[in-house]
Structure 1
Amino acid sequence: MTTALDPANDPYTLPLPTPDTPVVLPQWISRGNTHRNARYQDMVWPLAPLIDNPSTSLGRIHWKNCPPPLREQMRLPVWTMINGRLRPTYLKSRGPRARPRTSPSDMLDSCWEWMRLARWLHMRRLTLADCTEETWRSYISTRWDDGISRNRAEETISKLTDLWAFDQLSPRPAGVHRPPWDIEGVDDFLPSASGTTRGENTTEPLDPQVLGPLLVWAIRFVDDFADDILTAWAERCRLSALAASNTSRPGSLAALRDYLLPLARSGALIPASQARGQTALATSYIAGLTGASIDQVSRFRDTHGLAALVTERPGPCPLEVPVTGRIEGKPWREHMDFIEVAELMRHLGTAAMIICLYLTGMRPQEVMGLRSGCCPDPEPVNGNGPTRHLIRSNSTADGSDDTPAERRLIRGRHYKNVTDEDGNYISAGEERAVPWVAITPVVHAIRVLERMVPEGELLLSAAHHDIPFQRGHHGALKHQALRGRVEKFVAWVNREAKALDLPQQIVPEDPHGSIGLARFRRTLAWHIARRPGGLVALAIQYGHMRTVLDARTSSAYGSRSRGGIHSELDVETALAAADTAAHLRDRMAAGEKISGPAARRAITAAATTPRFEGRIVPTTFAKKATKFLARDGVVLYDNPDAFLICAFKHDNALCEPDPGATAPRQYACQQGCGNAVRTDTHAQQMREKADEIDLKAAFVPEKLAKRMRRNADNFRKMADAHGATAQTAEALT
């Protein structure tokens, strides 16, 4: 027999707060957190003292949104949620993801849901004590009237259950009754399962036609335009500082007159800026250029009627800095412009972020948490030069090999599901036990971002990327701001591509909606798994990326039993393998013949692999995908560049896969491999490729043409070999 624990001795029951009690108790505030705290009696409760993640917005609880009669009743469970911990007995039945303390953003969402309930109760002249079984049933039936997905409904029900749980922990419970779904189960209380599920695996990859030109322009900004933009920005800052410090002197007025009057009288364009959609004289630019004060420029404008002239004849504000960047061999700008460079600086930061998001596989919040110095150059070893971490490279078109590349490492933090020993959420995350591996474009992007922020600062610091204002915002640029910057970057790219008559470099609309941030990580896995040498590879050799990502012991997450990007890669690889098996099955059913040493294994794999219909994949699929890929010898990988299917069996593979690898190195496919399978379709594609190569060979120098024709002949010989040995599926079984 057990007895109830005295509240005075119950570690989960908090003491009753007073009006001056801090909203966040000191034990939950990290040592480096200096954000302002509030008092229990205040009408606004900032959650910033709980937030150490630079990518998280500093949320606030506004008590004006809670009906006054219920405000005091609701304050206590909210304060208990902020400072208390759910009992282990309560968490035990909630599943492995339940936490005694959740993140500040989850707390804010819970508070928003509780206040919504409070407003509903107030309209019916009820209180929290009136939340009986009947009331709960009535509220939940009306809650879904606004339309809500089943996934969101499950979260809502969980938050409402937490209200009852935290009321139980309150030093003065309001008397909230246990919701009926917590006793009977939630299924009967949820809307129909017609909505979509959530999770990374349901995120659609970006269309190749979108990502191709987007990545081209991002790399172009970082590699070709960065020096011009950063130099121009430094010059703009210098001129702006001069303009702000200049004093009114007779000599500066004379310089101003000598600069502006000839422009006004000759009919030339006058330096202009845009302010609130209106064209105005570029006051700071002119003041910095002539040495005049801002007041002198303003008075001179009014005296000589320049406001009207600049509206009629708005002109550029050229900076005396070199232009070195090129597009299609031509300078990308005639001159760098004082006004435009602020926009270009924002786009430069966006371009670098896109490269980091796409070519590392990091989650957005992990990129937003990177700091200057996170990717140091390799250090010398015993004074004998830099350490060289070799990455297996792709072969070039003429058969030669690339030179070895130095592998640089990115040290950063991860935040998802990071908890302490007691299961409490840690807002600051933790440093990854093993760093990320960076390929060259990522290193270049990081170096550019390091030039945009001070040493040791966040690479995407909101304060320093708030160009041109730099208003001192907290932490990194937030998700919403970055999503908006990506869309503005695309708009700029498309204007530029049209102006330069480069229609093939226009970024089209994605069929699945806005680009966002999370889709880059999904797209990386999709293209590595499905397009080993496809359109999006561009100048980036995907062989390098696949090699880096296959080294699981060196690049997986160091804790929390998570595989990081590898779980994404496994899902896409498993889906691609299922598609390959289905296509092979369809081709055989249509009468196509197959050849190759692994033909019989491929037939077995095609017959036993389930067909995957649709795109929605539950988050639990990752473990199933890993298990599926571990079936050595009966998993099929399409390799469109080699015109074959690989029935991957590790011991037979000539592509030298890593020990324990469950997928081939598709970029390193070798002739004569015992895993190869070809169909009539592959043979036809090889003949078409040979014809295409012969056509191109007619327009190149003779030595290169001979090499290309030999390549075309090899394709025809492989197609002929298939024709001579291919058999039907029935004959092989």
Structure 2
Amino acid sequence: MTAAATEDDPYVLPMPSPDSPIVLPKWIHPNNPHSVSSYHDLIWSLAALIDNPGTRLISIHWEKCPARMRGQLKLPAWTMINGQLRPTRIRSRGMATRSRNSAEDMASTCREWMRLARWLEKRGITDLAACTEDEWRKYPGERWKGGVSRGYAEKVLGWLTDLWLFDQLSAHPAGIARPPWDSEGIDDFLPAVSNQGGGENSTEPLDPQTIGPLLIWAMRVIEDFADDILAAWAENRRLTALIGTVSLVQGGQAAVEAYLMPLIETGAPLPSTRNQGKNTVARTFIAATTGASGGQVDRFAIKHGLSALTAQRPGPCPLDIPVTGLINGRPWRTHLDFNEAASLMKHLGTAAMIICLYLTGMRPQEVQGLRSGCCPDPEPGPNGAPGRHLIRSRHFKNVTDEDGNHASEGEEREVPWVAITPVVHSIRVLERIVPEGDYLFSAAHHDFLFQRNHHGALKGEALNQRIEDFVAWANHEANAHGLPGQAIPKDPHGSIGMSRFRRSLAWHIARRPGGLVALAIQYGHMRTVLDARTASGYGSRSRSGIHGVLDIETALAAADTAAHLRDRIAAGEKISGPAARRAITGAASTPRFEGRIVPRTFARKAAKFLARDGVVLYDNPEAFLICAFKHDNALCEPDPGATAPRQYACQQGCGNAVRSDTHARQMRERADEIDLKAAFVPEKLAKRLRRNADNLREMSDAHDATAQTAEALT
């Protein structure tokens, strides 16, 4: 075949031959290392189109297509992979349409075409030309019987329309009819509206009771255990390299006997490892320690019945390195074990990933795309002040090339992320694991157990499983160290997936003032950085980034606060404070938000809602008040242009404060708790606690003396 398009129509590609590559060279990035399948193959690998390190490699399996229609579907599929839709067609389908889609979308499209082909075959149709308008009208109803969301059904109809479009652009069109929804509109062909949502903002945030201890353990592993774990892995690798270095002639068998016979004769525990739930001979450790080969260890084990003895007297495989990490002032291990070095390295990488995901606001694929050297130490600022650590990264969502085609390699963010200290420490740990310039979560260098040379970064499925494994390990450690209160409880909304961290960051900042977002570690800095949109650009670029998510959560939290205040007022509660009248106005003018589905347009509406200076209500449970935020009145010193208060810096006497009878009751309850605690602490601390309790009671008394009903205030 020739690579050029036909002279008559540049969008119609020439006919491929059986040996033609399924991806033409012009679509392959110069640094892409993957091989290309041939047209006649039954499995088409699309790896040559994938340059995103966090995306799994995808293939199209044609054996799932009815044989008599396979050739008819292969041709439009090849045309889709190597061709482009006409510009007029793209404009008619809307802004979201691209002339070329991602490899994942192409594979999904082909799978949907094969599903249609199987349905047609069951109806006795084995030629796409026989798929007329009547079949098109019947198919969607059959397709939705398995149950699909309305949003996904729209994608399916789009993929089916692509079959007609790319068939027309093929060198020899099969003649499939135009789907009726392409001319009539898709509404009548979609399933009924359901309560199922989709998109980033319908993802449930992590429960506070889960994310708190999860973050504690992640930071503990990075800050306290990382040096021990890295040293254990280095020693494990050093010892493993010694296996078989002592030959049979040099006395490898003798070295095994010299090491094990004293343990056998004295009844001491024998080096063991767990295999399928049983204690077995630690063959690798013994070979590494003695320099013998695995075969020499096996011969000794058979001769002396070592398997049975090890099952009776299992022992550790200690590494000769010091333990420096502490838990509650005590060493976290009596020794580090040869057998656990690989799993500890896996947990170390997972801990770093959790911190990077949660304390930056990056999307998962952005974290997967980080490379060693992405966060250099900053130059000192003016007057020698320390500069901020900035993370240079690539983003991948909705990235297109200059022709509007999907760009799998992504692009570097125009504005870097700002990294707080725990994130910087995590990156430094990861840089000790991978070579310079490689991905921080390189699949090859994080495969500690099998040492397979995988390409790119660890994929989402593997990282999600590592999070679950980390939780199980942390809970085991909490139990072993007598810290049941630091166990990580199961999240009520299911597994802890990577996609939930970004949502949780915004949720905790918007709804949990006082430190839960980072457990009081630089929380103020985190919120300051997020608010400084024009100064630092923490999450901003041409699109709204993390700020759109934060605005949504803040708006929803403010709506909840207004709704709760309305309910309290309706129940007869009184309110007090200099902003009481504004709070009543704000509560009355704020719509109640029901449910969890958030449309794509809500981010813009949320930002507009929050810009209503003076009537947006922010609950601050730590200060026992509501802030009717008016920028000029605020004593918390918000940044210029800020639409939300610094709730962690709330000041008494602020003109934005509002209290209800509920707040007064909560203050008295808190005062009673403090008094109870004061009875069990040293006297100086007890006096301070009682003084705090007295202040809370004074503020609640002041509320009682000045509180009025809504009718009296309006």
Give the structure 1 partner of residue 691 of structure 2. 710
Distance (Å, rounded) in 1 between the aligned partners of 2:236 and 2:478: 26
Give the structure 2 partner of residue 478 of structure 1. 459
Aligned partner of residue 555 in structure 1, secondary structure: coil
Mapped pair 1:634 → 2:615:
yes
Structure 1's 512 and 88: CA in aligned 2 closer, same or farther, altered over 3 A? Answer: same
1:436-464 deviation digits (Å, cap 9, x = unpaired) = 01111111111111111111110111001
Distance (Å, rounded) in 1 between the aligned partners of 2:140 and 2:688: 72
Preserved contact between residue 379 and residue 386 of structure 2 (Cα < 8 Å): no
Distance (Å, rounded) in 1 between the aligned partners of 2:539 and 2:471: 32
Give the structure 1 partner of residue 105 of structure 2. 106
Preserved contact between residue 248 and residue 295 of structure 1 (Cα < 8 Å): no
Distance (Å, rounded) in 2 between the aligned partners of 1:489 and 1:317: 22
Distance (Å, rounded) in 2 between the aligned partners of 1:209 and 1:40: 53
One-letter identity of the residue aligned with 1:157: L
Q: Tell me the CA shift for residue 629 of structure 1.
A: 0.7
Q: Tell me the CA shift for residue 557 of structure 1.
A: 5.6
Aligned partner of residue 273 in structure 1, secondary structure: strand
Aligned partner of residue 57 in structure 1, secondary structure: coil
Aligned partner of residue 654 in structure 2, secondary structure: coil
Q: How do 1:674-693 residues align onto structure 2 when only pairs under 5 Å count?
A: 674-693=655-674
1:236-288 deviation digits (Å, cap 9, x = unpaired) = 00010101444224544333212111222232221112345554311221122
Mapped pair 1:594 → 2:593:
no
Preserved contact between residue 432 and residue 558 of structure 1 (Cα < 8 Å): no
Mapped pair 1:555 → 2:537:
yes
Task: Select 1:388's aligned residue among 386, 389, 397.
Answer: 386
Give the structure 2 partner of residue 507 of structure 1. 488
Structure 1's 557 and 725: CA in aligned 2 closer, same or farther, altered over 3 A? Answer: closer
Give the structure 2 partner of residue 612 of structure 1. 593
The share of aligned pairs that are identical, in percent, is 70
Give the structure 2 partner of residue 155 of structure 1. 155
Question: For this pair of structures, how many residues does the alignment match?
Answer: 708
Aligned partner of residue 619 in structure 2, secondary structure: strand
Distance (Å, rounded) in 2 between the aligned partners of 1:635 and 1:92: 40
Q: Segments of 4+ in structure 1 off by > 6 A?
A: none
Q: Tell me the CA shift for residue 307 of structure 1.
A: 1.9
Distance (Å, rounded) in 1 between the aligned partners of 2:249 and 2:316: 26
Distance (Å, rounded) in 1 between the aligned partners of 2:432 and 2:523: 28
Aligned partner of residue 544 in structure 2, secondary structure: coil
Preserved contact between residue 433 and residue 557 of structure 1 (Cα < 8 Å): no
Distance (Å, rounded) in 2 between the aligned partners of 1:147 and 1:558: 38
One-letter identity of the residue aligned with 2:537: S
Mapped pair 1:51 → 2:32:
no
Mapped pair 1:253 → 2:234:
no
Task: Select 1:443's aligned residue among 424, 437, 441.
Answer: 424
Give the structure 1 partner of residue 134 of structure 2. 134
Distance (Å, rounded) in 2 between the aligned partners of 1:324 and 1:363: 34
Give the structure 2 partner of residue 395 of structure 1. none
Where does structure 1 lack aligned partners over 5 or more consecutive residues?
1-5, 390-406
Aligned partner of residue 307 in structure 2, secondary structure: helix
- Which shifted more, 595-604 or 275-284? 275-284
Give the structure 2 partner of residue 378 of structure 1. 378
Q: Tell me the CA shift for residue 381 of structure 1.
A: 6.4
Q: How do 1:150-229 residues align onto structure 2 when only pairs under 5 Å count?
A: 150-229=150-229
Give the structure 1 partner of residue 242 of structure 2. 242
Aligned partner of residue 360 in structure 1, secondary structure: coil
Q: How do 1:580-591 residues align onto structure 2 when only pairs under 5 Å count?
A: 580-591=561-572
TM-score (norm 2): 0.96
Give the structure 2 partner of residue 301 of structure 1. 301
Distance (Å, rounded) in 2 between the aligned partners of 1:558 and 1:572: 17
Give the structure 2 partner of residue 458 of structure 1. 439
Give the structure 1 partner of residue 369 of structure 2. 369
Preserved contact between residue 325 and residue 332 of structure 2 (Cα < 8 Å): yes
- Which shifted more, 615-624 or 457-466? 615-624
TM-score (norm 1): 0.94
Preserved contact between residue 272 and residue 316 of structure 2 (Cα < 8 Å): yes
Aligned partner of residue 242 in structure 1, secondary structure: coil
Distance (Å, rounded) in 2 between the aligned partners of 1:588 and 1:380: 53
Q: How do 1:239-388 residues align onto structure 2 when only pairs under 5 Å count?
A: 239-275=239-275, 279-380=279-380, 388=386
One-letter identity of the residue aligned with 1:388: P
- Which shifted more, 25-34 or 239-248? 239-248
Distance (Å, rounded) in 1 between the aligned partners of 2:354 and 2:47: 28
Q: Tell me the CA shift for residue 76 of structure 1.
A: 0.9
One-letter identity of the residue aligned with 2:39: Y
Give the structure 1 partner of residue 64 of structure 2. 65
1:667-689 deviation digits (Å, cap 9, x = unpaired) = 11111211111111112222222
Q: Tell me the CA shift for residue 187 of structure 1.
A: 1.7
Give the structure 1 partner of residue 678 of structure 2. 697
Mapped pair 1:83 → 2:64:
no
Q: Tell me the CA shift for residue 77 of structure 1.
A: 0.7
Preserved contact between residue 533 and residue 540 of structure 2 (Cα < 8 Å): no
Aligned partner of residue 73 in structure 1, secondary structure: helix
Query: What is the Cα-based RMSD across aligned positions, in Å?
Result: 1.8
One-letter identity of the residue aligned with 1:56: T
Give the structure 1 partner of residue 35 of structure 2. 36
Preserved contact between residue 46 and residue 61 of structure 1 (Cα < 8 Å): yes
One-letter identity of the residue aligned with 2:473: W
One-letter identity of the residue aligned with 1:120: W
Where does structure 2 lack aligned partners over 5 or more consecutive residues?
none
